[in-house]
Amino acid sequence: MLAPEVQKLADALGQDEFVFYYQPKVSLINGRTSGAEALMRWNHPDGRMRLPKHFIPQAERSGYITEMGLAMFPRLLTDMQLINDLHPTLVTSFNLSAQDLLDSRMTNLICMALEHKVIEPKQLELELTEASLLEHDNPIVRANLERLTNCGVTLAMDDYGTGYSTIDTLSQWPFSRVKLDKGLIQRMVGSEKSATIVQASIRMAHQLGIEIVAEGIETAACYDFLLHAGCTHAQGFWLGRPMPLSDYLEFLTVDRRWSGLPIGLIHMATLDHIHWRQALVTEATLLAFGGHENCGEIHVCQAELDHTRCKLGHWYYGHGREFAGNPHYDRLEEPHQRLHEMGAEILAAARSGIDRVHLTERLRELTQQSTRVLELLQELESEAMISQIMPPQLESL
Ligand code: C2E
Ligand code: CA
Ligand code: CA
């Protein structure tokens, strides 16, 4: 026997009154739509559309949220098949409550859809809030999350920046994305402190290899700030409101491109490069003059020697390709590669007992080469900033 309020939800579910609206997400790497978040709406028979705040909290409190999720997931799959027919590379996000993982039904349903290739793992992202995970942190939830990640779906931590959000939680669960909460994003406008927290969160996520989605973008200024801060994805009313499936499908037929180049990622690559050089110098010094054994326990002093696999290389051969054709970008490859060769030579010399004078000399050469790399990165950054504010077509007016 269900409580009357829950019975209303069960009746509405039986009458097919719940639908998904889709809110677009934009890639700040290339300015294109990268997918959407599915957000539930109640098409009430009184003709008024109910927002989640009028039914989700109650569904969560009563535990009925899992029945709703189980009933709505097949509906999501039907919608996604229409979306994927148009654009197979788009990612659709589904909100899960950690309660949904207290038994294996939801996990089985999702994994079965993937096994039967109804959708591809890359097309689905699951959003979970940190608060709900902390509330339901137990071995079954962890095992279900592990099964889901093993199936290849992306996990995003939702509402980061509210409540107890900690770097620690992020690193203990298999999240590959984090969504900065809209409250935090909107507070940036009047608060330097919030802006700094956003910048630092983006940097921290970048260092952990986690992608950042900012939600609640309501203005062009906010969008630009995030672009400059190195954020990779954005969602908000300024980019697109949640809309019915038919509108979303129509939205996708227009080849939209939001302005801006991923400038913030050049800055990230610059900082990553400075850290790489510092790590190499530390490693060479410890190898040459002892103390290296103390580093074994804490993995802070190993510089990646493959120039395609260090963080700068990762950017250069990945998202950085957006700048291909720019002379500063194109000229970066050769000195960067040489720098890594020099790094490997220095470590080899340090291992075979180089003396202080020679090591100092080799490290000076390394610094000079590193400065060349940094100059090119900074020139690329300045030019990208200027062309963002003053596009070449405006300059000629
Ligand atoms: P959420 O997961 O944090 O979803 C984002 C919410 O922010 C959405 O509210 C969206 O409409 C709103 N939003 C997006 N951009 C902006 C913006 O620029 N400005 C402002 N002011 N708001 C923005 P919505 O659709 O009312 O959903 C509220 C919450 O309900 C969601 O928060 C999510 O926690 C929950 N929810 C929605 N659909 C589902 C679902 O299918 N399952 C579960 N478990 N929860 C859901
Ligand atoms: Ca969400
Ligand atoms: Ca959120």
Q: Is the CB of 181 under 6 A from ligand 1?
A: no
Asked if residue 136 lies in contact with residue 99, where contact means CB atoms within 8 angstroms, the answer is: yes
Average confidence score pLDDT of the chain: 92
**pLDDT at residue 291 in the model:** 66
Instruction: Compute, in angstroms, the gap from residue 23 CA to the centroid of ligand 3.
Output: 12
CA 282 to chain centre: 31
pLDDT tens-place string over residues 84-136: 999 999 999 999 998 999 999 999 999 999 999 999 999 999 999 988 888 88
Closest ligand to Cα 40: 1
Q: Is the CB of 237 under 6 A from ligand 1?
A: yes
pLDDT over 90 (residue 344): yes
Distance in angstroms (rounded) separating the CA atoms of residues 173 and 176:
9
Residue 359 tokens read as: 């090591």
Classify 156 in phi/psi space as left (phi over 0), alpha (psi -120 to 50) or beta. Answer: beta
pLDDT over 80 (residue 165): no
Specify the pTM: 0.92
Asked if residue 111 lies in contact with residue 148, where contact means CB atoms within 8 angstroms, the answer is: yes
pLDDT over 60 (residue 72): yes
- CA nearest neighbour of 30 among 256, 225, 185, 205: 256
Closest ligand to Cα 132: 1
Closest ligand to Cα 128: 2
Beta bridge partners of 25: 35, 235
Q: Is the CB of 161 under 6 A from ligand 1?
A: no
Asked if residue 391 lies in contact with residue 261, where contact means CB atoms within 8 angstroms, the answer is: no
- 385 — pLDDT class (breaks 50, 70, 90): confident
Beta bridge partners of 24: 36
Instruction: Compute, in angstroms, the gap from residue 97 CA to the centroid of ligand 2.
Output: 10
Q: Which residues contact 264 (CB under 8 A, 6 or more apart)?
A: 28, 202, 226, 227, 228, 229, 230, 231
**pLDDT at residue 394 in the model:** 53
